[in-house]
Amino acid sequence: MSCKKWKKKLSSCLDNEVSYRERLKIEKHLKSCQACFNQFKQLDRLHRLVQSIPPEKPGPGFYERLSERLSQKKPILKKKLLGWRYVWQLSFPRVGKIAIAVSAVLLLSVSFYIWRSSISYEVNIKVFEEEYLRSQQMNSFAGELALPAFLEIK
Amino acid sequence: MQYSDEELVERFGAGDEESFKMLVERYQDRVYHIVYGIVGNKEEAEDLSQEVFLRVYRFLHRFKGKSRFYTWLYRLTINVCLSAKRKRKNEPAKIFSLANPSEHGDDPGEIELADESLSPWKILQNREMAEKIKSAINSLSEVLKSTFVLREFEELSYEELARVFQCSRGTIKSRLSRAREQLRRKIEPYLNGAV
């Protein structure tokens, strides 16, 4: 690979935006090529110098001046929320909302399960009772039919 | 209570003005720093930073939450700066050049350099050096400058930069490489001199 191609990679290498394998290749080349090594050093210095310049900040009262300009404009809101929806939207952070929603779902699921199991228990008792009575009737009916026939055979 | 950006956006969408104030206070310094890096003039940086937040106020409903809020905000910031530059191209008399900052009140005396004990580079003690760097940055094309400023000032990853500029990662890689190469050539003597 020519030095021109290696030099194009120096910037992303400086930003740590190359793969580990590619980084090793670049480092290997830099050890053997003084021109590329010097260029990499210069880019590194440039980066450090730019970083050393302290950030510029806006003057005090930035928001107040903005507010004045804002008073002439109105936002286009997604929707107007009223009543409980407004309270819901604004009262809890997202995590709180998720926790409330999960709790509500769990509570509903448990309530439903309890309700279902109590209903099915009652139904089972009723069915059992009906079955029992029916079997009793069947037994007595079979006894009535079988006994005379048995006596006749005897 | 500390709300995330997305929560503040949601609350503002529901009509809570205080959330907008919180967003402004959270990002005003960063937006100003980026704008200043691109336009190189304090007065204009203030004006354009305010313009950015005015647009946020008006168009926040367009933010769908598909990306992080700050990438949306930085894209808006870059758009405001570029459109201001385009407008100024039509007004030649008002073109500002960092090469002559004193014409616009930004005399070198106003530039504060980093605490020397924190910087290994003695050369930064020289204000002329800082001016040279700023001037070199200002001489880049708008696209290269914006990409370079967001990378160096805000330390956005290539992935985030690609989202801000809506281009590929390869394009970002190439832009940064070109920007740095141009800057390196412009201030090469200073780079060799630094220890």
Q: What average pLDDT does the segment B27-34 reach?
A: 94
Q: How many domains does chain A have?
A: 2
pLDDT tier for residue B81 given thresholds of 50, 70 and 90: very high
Amino acid at B32: Y
Q: Which residues of A touch B158 (CB under 8 A)?
A: 12, 15, 17
Per-residue pLDDT tens for B138-192?
999 999 999 999 999 999 999 999 999 999 999 999 999 999 999 999 988 888 7
Whether A87 and A146 map to the same domain: the answer is: yes
pLDDT, tens digit, 9 for 90 and up, residues B88-119: 776 543 333 333 333 333 332 333 334 444 44
- Contact by Cβ (8 Å): B140, B85: no
- Tell me the residue range of the domain where A28 lies: 3-54
Domain shared by A101 and A141, yes or no = yes
Assess whether A10 and A49 both reside in one domain.
yes
Q: Which residues of A touch B49 (CB under 8 A)?
A: 58, 62
Q: How far is it, in rounded angstroms, from Cα B178 to Cα B144?
A: 8
Q: Is B66 helix (H, G, I), strand (E, B) or coil?
A: coil
* Residue of chain A minimizing CA distance to B61: A78
The confidence score (pLDDT) of residue A73 equals 64
Instruction: Check CB contact of A81 with chain B, cutoff 8 Å.
Output: yes
Task: Inform me whether the pLDDT recorded for A134 exceeds 50.
Answer: yes
Domains of chain B (ranges; CATH) run: 1-97 (1.10.1740.10), 115-195 (1.10.10.10)
In this predicted structure, the answer to whether residue A18 has a pLDDT above a threshold of 50 is yes
pLDDT-derived band at B195, boundaries 50, 70, 90: very low
Contact B184 A39 (CB under 8 A): yes
Whether A41 and A88 map to the same domain: the answer is: no
* Single-letter residue type at B132: K
The set of residues, in sequence order, having a beta carbon less than 8 Å from that of A102 and lying 6+ positions away, is: none
Helix axis angle for B142-154 and B69-89, nearest 10°, is: 150
Which residue in the set A57, A65, A73 is minimally distant from B58, CB to CB? A73
- For an interface test with B, the pick among A22, A40, A78 (most B C-beta atoms closer than 10 Å) comes out as A78
Whether A42 and A104 map to the same domain: the answer is no
Across the interface, do B14 and A54 touch by the CB < 8 Å criterion? no
Which chain A residues are Cβ-neighbours of B53 within 8 angstroms?
A: 66
Residue A126: predicted pLDDT: 74
Residues of chain A contacting B21 with CB distance shorter than 8 Å = 63
- Based on the fold, state whether residues A149 and A95 are members of the same structural domain: yes
d(CA A91, CA B19): 12
- Three-state secondary structure string covering chain A: CCHHHHHHHHHHHHCCCCCHHHHHHHHHHHHHCHHHHHHHHHHHHHHHHHHHCCCCCCCCCHHHHHHHHHCCCCCCCCCCCCHHHHHHHHHCCHHHHHHHHHHHHHHHHHHHHHHHHHHHHHHHHHHHHHHHHHHHHHHHHHHHHHHHHHHHHC
Of all residues in chain B, the one with the smallest CA distance to A59 is B46
Task: Please write the tens of the pLDDT for every residue from B39-55.
Answer: 888 899 999 999 999 99
State the residue for tokens 């400058």: B145
Residue A121 lies in a domain: yes
Q: With pLDDT > 70 as the criterion, what percentage of chain B qualifies?
A: 78
CA distance A140 to A146: 10
Is the model's pLDDT at B66 over the cut of 80? yes
Contacts of B12 (CB under 8 A, 6+ apart): A75, B19, B20, B23, B60
A69, part of any domain: no
Q: Which of B11, B12, B153 sits opposite A55 (nearest CB)?
A: B153
- DSSP for B94-133, written as a single string: G---TTSGGGGT--GGGPPPPPTTT-S-GGGGSHHHHHHH
Q: Which residue of A has its CA nearest to B24?
A: A63
A15 part of a folded domain: yes
pLDDT of B120 reads 47
Where is pLDDT greater, at B27 or A83? B27
User: For B157, which DSSP code?
Assistant: -
Q: Residue type for B116, please?
A: E
B176 contacts in A (CB within 8 Å)? Answer: 11-12, 15
The predicted complex's ipTM stands at: 0.75
**Residue B100 confidence (pLDDT):** 37
- Chosen from B181, B188, B195 to mutate, greatest number of chain A CBs within 10 A: B181
User: Given this model, what pLDDT does residue A52 score?
Assistant: 83
Q: Does the beta-carbon distance from B121 to A93 stay under 8 Å?
A: no
What is the rounded average pLDDT for all residues in chain A?
A: 79
Amino acid B115: pLDDT: 44
Structural domain includes residue A36 = yes
Share above pLDDT 90 across residues of chain A, in percent, rounded to a whole number: 32
Rg of chain A over CA atoms, in angstroms? Answer: 42
Per-residue pLDDT tens over the stretch A38-53:
999 999 999 998 888 8
Q: Are residues A146 and A88 in the same domain?
A: yes
Give the separation between CA B1 and CA B118, rounded to whole angstroms.
34
pLDDT at position B106 is 35
- Computed from CA positions of residues B164, B170, B172, B175, in that sequence, does the dihedral angle turn out positive or negative? negative
Chain A residues with CB-CB distance to B112 below 8 A: 54
